[in-house]
């Protein structure tokens, strides 16, 4: 982070110099070739992102708020890598207290090997950002540092370091750990906005319909009779409580629409009408094959290629609904761009989980720019541990810089010079305005 700040200072000085030269030569602020990259870097560094999908929680969610080195090390992306490198039995690992799990991961992935994977480099980048040692002795000092932080000021500092203005949470009204916080009314926070997540309703109804009954709604195992209107009432009441900025569901690659399954009916007859009435977008994250290795718990999901005709059908048959979509399979990315060109009620977002690696992010982002210009949301962090936003957003800015610069140079070569104002407008669109147009970010009082 200090490196990034120094870079911003250097780039600012260069920009001031070239701006005064441009004024003297009277070229209307058109950037000369060599100034394009430095301007892009500066604009990327100074424009705050709206992080439209995370698993972070506002400070009022107590034990659900994850931060600090032990949480960073036990991130499920790293747990999966740990099992691979160590050959340890998952059952033995799960039996350990968190601190010992973190010790084991540190030893295996950070001491006995070089932390060069995307997720392990992220931990190193976080240590570096806080001015902590990054060598194999770093763990204890990092623990003392994070222990000494007070949560509220630490949260503010981290969001500032990542230059993120708003984070969107993932809020499951049927999660027994989470819903008491909502019922106690302790959830509001201007920078942490809610999302009404519906996986348990749309994907695993049979395991969860009784929890909806327990909340006072008249639904049954087959979602028959009054169930659809009761689910709709459930959504409206949770909307009033959470003030979500959209509704969402993660779906398997086998997801089809239309479908006579319970999930298909509830989506068509309860969720989509509620989204229309509330003017909320519906987010589909498609492609996770749940628990292919259940011994790895949350790290045990894999990926599958989906048939995106489900999106074609949704976007065409429900033109008054808006769909925010991320797909997990690399093979589905091009198709998603094609559908976005056909349907303006479809907004591609983010490079998710197994496609959130610099090489694949670069490929996807280039493709999106070539096919969609600036009409997409390039990234979300999917952070689960607070400090992850620092490295995830630094990575995004680093990957975007050469891609945008190259596109502006191509544009200049084709005959249209670019100004700083052009670049700022485009980056603002990618980082903020597209999200502002698709998410209901108004404060509760203004709804
Ligand atoms: O990327 C992840 O952390 C996954 O575990 C999933 O949570 C995914 O992001 C999702 O929201 O379903
Ligand atoms: Zn997620």
pLDDT tens digits along 431-440: 999 999 999 9
Closest-approaching ligand to the CA atom of 80: 1
Higher pLDDT, 112 or 10: 112
**CA-closest residue to ligand 1 atom 4:** 353
Query: Mean pLDDT of all residues in the chain?
Result: 94
Q: Which residue has the higher pLDDT, 444 or 124?
A: 124
Contact 250 CB / ligand 1 (< 6 Å): yes
Mutate to test the pocket of ligand 1, among 118, 297, 353, 354 (most ligand atoms within 8 A of CB): 353
For residue 179 and ligand 1, the question of a CB distance below 6 A is answered with: no
* Token pair of 213 as six digits: 């009954």
Does any ligand 1 atom lie closer than 6 A to the CB of residue 382?
Answer: yes
- Looking up tokens 């290629």 gives 305
Going from the Cα of 346 to the center of ligand 1, the distance in angstroms, rounded, reads 21
Tokens (6 digits) for 100: 């010992």
Residue nearest to atom 1 of ligand 1 (CA): 353
The length of the chain is 447
Helical segments of 115-261, H only:
118-129, 139-147, 151-162, 179-183, 199-202, 205-214, 227-242
Residue 193 pairs with which residues in a beta bridge? 168
Ligand 1, atom 11, residue with closest C-alpha: 250
Beta-ladder partners of 282: 247, 323
Whole-angstrom CA distances from 224 to 171, 234, 447 are 26, 15, 32
Backbone angles phi, psi at 97, to 5 degrees: -65, 155
pLDDT at 23 over 50: no
**Mean pLDDT for the stretch of residues 14-35:** 66
98, containing H or E segment = helix 98-105
Whole-number pLDDT of residue 431 = 98
Under the banding of pLDDT at 50, 70 and 90, the label for residue 6 is low
The per-residue pLDDT for 185 is 83
Task: Tell how far the Cα of 226 is from the centroid of ligand 2, in angstroms.
Answer: 32
Ligand with an atom nearest the CA of residue 301: 1
pLDDT for residue 17: 59
Question: Among 185-194, 274-283, 332-341, 342-351, which is the least confidently predicted range?
Answer: 185-194
- For residue 285 and ligand 1, the question of a CB distance below 6 A is answered with yes
Q: Is the preceding peptide bond at 258 cis, omega within 30 degrees of 0?
A: yes
pLDDT of residue 382: 98
Check if the beta carbon of residue 308 is closer than 8 Å to that of residue 349.
Answer: no
Instruction: Report the percentage of the chain scoring pLDDT > 90.
Output: 90
Helix or strand (DSSP H, E) at 50: strand 49-51
DSSP code of residue 171: B
pLDDT tens, position by position, 85-94:
999 999 999 9
Q: What is the DSSP string of 280-303?
A: -EEEEEE-EETTSSGGGGGGG-EE
* Nearest alpha-carbon partner for 435 in 24, 153, 89, 53: 53
Please determine, for residue 4, whether its predicted confidence score (pLDDT) is greater than 80. no
Whether residue 194 is preceded by a cis peptide bond, meaning omega within 30 degrees of 0, is: no
Q: How many CB atoms lie within 10 A of CB 39?
A: 24
Q: Does residue 39 contact residue 401 with C-beta atoms inside 8 Å?
A: no
Q: What is the mean pLDDT of residues 150-165?
A: 96
Pocket of ligand 1 contains residue 354 by CB under 6 Å: no
Q: How far is CA 381 from CA 377, 397, 424, in A?
A: 12, 12, 22
pLDDT value of residue 447: 85
Q: Is the pLDDT of residue 430 over 70?
A: yes
Looking at 111-187, list the stretches that DSSP marks H as alpha helix, in order from N- to C-terminal side: 118-129, 139-147, 151-162, 179-183
> Does the pLDDT value for residue 230 go beyond 90?
yes
pLDDT higher than 50, residue 186: yes
What's the CA gap between 119 and 125, in Å, rounded? 10
pLDDT band for position 189 (cuts 50, 70, 90): confident
Pocket test for ligand 1, best of 382, 384, 388 (most atoms within 8 A of CB): 382
Q: What does the pLDDT read at residue 25?
A: 45
Burial of 191 (0-12, 13-18, 19+ CB in 10 A): middle
2 pLDDT more than 70:
no
Instruction: Name which residue sits closest to atom 12 of ligand 1, judged by CA.
Output: 250
Distance (Å, whole) CA 447 – CA 444? 6
| Tens-place pLDDT, residues 380-414 | 999 999 999 999 999 999 999 999 999 999 999 99
Question: d(Cα 341, Cα 334) in Å, to the nearest integer?
Answer: 11
CA of 147 to the centre of ligand 1 (A): 27
pLDDT in the model for residue 33: 87
Beta bridge pairs of residue 27: none
What's the gap in Å between 107 CA and the centre of ligand 1?
26
Residue 199 near ligand 1, beta carbon < 6 Å = no
154, 56 contact by CB (below 8 A) = no
Q: What does the pLDDT read at residue 60?
A: 93
Q: Is 399 in the pocket of ligand 1 (CB under 6 A)?
A: no
Give the C-alpha separation, 342 to 316, whole Å.
9
- Check residue 28 and give its pLDDT: 82
Q: Is the CB of 35 under 6 A from ligand 1?
A: no
């Amino acid at each position: 982070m200090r490196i990034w700040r120094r870079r911003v200072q250097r780039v600012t000085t260069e920009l001031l110099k070239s701006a005064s030269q441009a004024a003297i030569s009277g070229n209307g602020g058109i950037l000369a070739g060599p100034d394009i990259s430095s301007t892009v870097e500066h604009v990327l560094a100074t424009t705050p992102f709206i992080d439209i999908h995370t698993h972070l929680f506002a400070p009022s969610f107590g034990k659900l708020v994850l931060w600090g080195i032990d949480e960073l090390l036990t991130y499920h992306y790293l747990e999966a890598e740990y099992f691979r490198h160590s050959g340890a039995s998952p059952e033995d690992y799960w039996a350990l207290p968190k601190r010992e799990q973190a010790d084991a991961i540190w030893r295996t992935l950070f001491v006995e090997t070089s932390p060069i994977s995307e997720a392990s480099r992220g931990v190193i980048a976080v240590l570096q950002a806080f001015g902590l040692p990054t060598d194999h002795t770093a763990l204890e000092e990092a623990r003392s540092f994070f222990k000494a932080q007070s949560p509220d000021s630490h949260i503010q500092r981290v969001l500032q370091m990542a230059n993120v203005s708003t984070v969107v949470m993932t809020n499951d009204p049927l999660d027994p750990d989470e819903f008491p916080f909502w019922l106690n009314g302790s959830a509001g926070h201007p920078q942490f906005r809610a999302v009404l997540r519906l996986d348990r309703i749309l994907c695993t109804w049979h395991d969860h319909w009784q929890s909806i009954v327990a909340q006072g709604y008249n639904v049954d195992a087959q979602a028959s009779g009054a169930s659809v209107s009761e689910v709709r009432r459930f959504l409206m009441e949770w909307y009033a409580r959470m003030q979500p900025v959209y509704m969402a569901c993660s779906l398997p690659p086998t997801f089809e629409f239309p479908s006579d399954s319970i999930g298909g009916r509830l989506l068509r007859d309860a969720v989509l009408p509620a989204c229309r009435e509330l003017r909320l977008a519906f987010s589909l994250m498609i492609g996770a094959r749940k628990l292919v290795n259940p011994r790895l718990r949350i790290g045990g999901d894999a990926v599958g290629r989906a048939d995106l005709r489900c999106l074609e059908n949704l976007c065409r048959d429900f033109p008054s609904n808006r769909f925010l979509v991320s797909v997990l399979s690399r093979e589905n990315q091009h198709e998603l761009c094609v559908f976005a060109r056909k349907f303006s009620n479809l907004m591609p977002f983010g490079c998710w989980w197994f496609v959130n690696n610099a090489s694949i992010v670069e490929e996807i982002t280039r493709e999106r720019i070539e096919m969609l210009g600036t009409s997409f949301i390039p990234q979300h962090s999917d952070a689960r541990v607070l400090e992850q936003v620092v490295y995830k957003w630094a990575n995004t800015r680093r990957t975007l810089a050469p891609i945008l610069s190259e596109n502006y140079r191509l544009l200049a070569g084709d005959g249209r010079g670019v100004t700083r104002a052009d670049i700022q407008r485009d980056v603002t669109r990618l980082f903020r305005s597209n999200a502002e147009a698709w998410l209901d970010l108004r404060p509760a009082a203004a709804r």
